[in-house]
Amino acid sequence: MTGPEATSEQRVNERAEKELGLTNSKLGKDGMPDRIYWMPFGKPILIEWKKPGEQPTKRQWYWIYFLRGLQYDVQWFDNEQRAFEYLTAAVARSVKARLKKEGVQ
């Protein structure tokens, strides 16, 4: 993959690893989201990356809805800042839920 989609994806991957400690993996099945982000203490987040202004294809929508039906957090982004903000908030929610579960306020 090349172009703005790949550049945004790569920058967010680097920031997510460096600033949030998130590991991610590339998914390879046709139509499935591009990346899976392994969240601390919770289910992973799957993200479909699109070029600015572009939306998922029909096949990609199928996978988004199918995986959401299995209770996975599946998102698509055409903007790297919004994607990073989403991942940041998700990490905060995950850590907060874990602390609450352990009785730490």
At 84, give phi and psi (nearest 5°).
-65, -40
CA atoms within 13 A on the CB side of 64: 15
Strand partners, 67: none
What CATH number has the domain bearing residue 20? 3.40.1350.10
Give yes or no for residue 104 having a pLDDT over 80.
no
Give yes or no for residue 1 having a pLDDT over 60.
no
> What is the total count of domains within the chain?
1
Is the residue at 103 inside a domain? no
User: Which structural domain range is residue 19 located in?
Assistant: 4-98
* Prediction pTM value: 0.88
Is the residue at 94 inside a domain? yes
Q: Residue 79 and residue 36: Cα distance in Å, rounded?
A: 17
pLDDT at 59: 97
Write the pLDDT tens digit of every residue in 34-79. 999 999 888 899 999 999 999 999 999 999 999 999 999 999 999 9
